[in-house]
Every structure is written in C-alpha cells, then in structure tokens.
Amino acid sequence: MLILNIETATTVCSVALADGENVLAYKDENKGYTHAEHLTVFIEQVFKKAHKKISDLDAVAVSSGPGSDTGLRIGVSTAKGLCYALNKPLIAVSTLKAMASPGFQIILENDLLCPMIDARRMEVYCAMYDSELNEILPVSAKVIDENSFSEYFEKEQIFFFGDGAAKCKPFLAHHPNVKFIDNISPAARNMVSLSFEKFQMKQFEDTSLFEPFYLKEFTGKRSL
C-alpha cells in the first residue's frame, strides 16, 4: 500500500514515501518557507530512492494544519494535483496529531502530550493527546500566560514540544508536572501510521472541496 506523505505546515518541507507503515524513503529540510521551490523536487527524490514510480501510488496524504497559510496551501495544492492526475484518494492528517504520533518512550499511561506550533506574538496553535493519541484538548489557538493549561498539569504530567513550546517555558517550566522536549518538528514520516490507518478505514477527502485547516480565517496579501 504505497502512500506519499507531504508536510509543509511550518518552515519544514518534508516528504515521506511509505508502504503501509514502513517508510521507504523520506526527505526533510528546514530552511524557511522554500516549499514552492523544493517540494516537487523532494517528491521526485523519494521515489527515486525507493525505486518506485509515481504511478505506483495508492494514495496521497497531506498535513492539513494548522500552521503557515502559505505552506499549507502549497502542500495541499500539490497533493490535490497528484490525486487528480493519478485518480487516487486524498488523505488529510492533522499536523499536531502527527507531531505527537511517534510516541515517546518516556511517557507513562496517564501522561499527556501537547504539541505546539508557533503563531504570532504569545500565541500558539496546540492540542493535547493522551498516550494513545486520544484527543484531550481540541486543536485551538491559545495566548500563553502563567495560567495556561493549569487545569491539566495539576493532575497529570504534560510534555510540551514543537517550536511553540519555547513560549511556555518562562511561564510553566517551574511546575514539577511540566516537561519540555526539544528539537521536535513536523515531519512527513510521522504522518505514516495515521495516513495508513485512514487509508484502511477509507477516510478520504473530497479532492475538489478540501481546504487546509487554517484555524484562523485566511487572508491573502494584496499586490500593490
């Protein structure tokens, strides 16, 4: 079951080709918003590395947001184009859930995972999951202060990670139930188990109608 996974929701441009849950090849780069220049090149590279043809695909999965408006549009547009050209289904994977999906060996059954994506000023896009990836706190935009998430970490241990987590450290790091994990970014290879599960359950998107989950209303820039 060959699925191409595309991740462009943040500054990371990432592609992974997987056979079921087995990653055959992947390419990641975090050099700012250069997705328009690199995404199709990365796709070609992973197919070549895996010795597969694009016509072999069974589906295309794309990170659906939240995140950068421009990055999301590039990823979704590319995924849609491939689906139309190959007549294959489109799978949408939550960016934040994919960040939490690898699982962390250090967490216990009652621990919580809180992936975060940097938004503007003191705001982050975040969600919260238990150790089995059940959603505890829906995806939302939150302004961080000393009271953020207090209703959770008074009872459970919470692991914060992602490029938005740094904003929390000055406010929350003092609490014994708050832990931070560094150097975790969105990556297409972390989408693989989720996209394969959706494929098995035939949870496909309407390719013509699907739009990224911007979380906030998308507003394009006007040309002068």
Please state, in angstroms and rounded to a whole number, the distance separating the CA atoms of residues 167 and 202.
38
Same fold? 2-95+186-200, 96-181 = yes
Task: Give the number of other CB atoms < 10 A from CB of residue 121.
Answer: 9
Q: Which fold has domain 96-181?
A: Nucleotidyltransferase; domain 5 (3.30.420)
Q: What is the pLDDT of residue 219?
A: 42
State how far the Cα of 36 lies from the Cα of 47, in Å rounded to an integer. Answer: 19
Backbone angles phi, psi at 189, to 5 degrees: -65, -20
Domain 2-95+186-200 has CATH 3.30.300.30: no
Average pLDDT value for the chain: 91
- Contact yes or no for 8/64 (Cβ under 8 A): no
Phi, psi of 41 (to 5 degrees): -65, -45
> What's the pLDDT at 160?
95
Domain ranges in the chain are 2-95+186-200, 96-181
- Residues facing residue 159 across a β-bridge: 113, 179
H/E stretch holding 117 reads strand 112-118
Rounded Cα gap, residues 90 and 192, in angstroms: 14
Is residue 224 very low, low, confident or very high in pLDDT (cuts 50, 70, 90)? very low
Interval 26-63: pLDDT, tens:
999 998 888 999 999 999 999 999 999 999 999 999 99
Peptide bond into 66 cis (omega under 30): yes
Residue 73 reports pLDDT greater than 80: yes
User: pTM for the complete prediction?
Assistant: 0.92
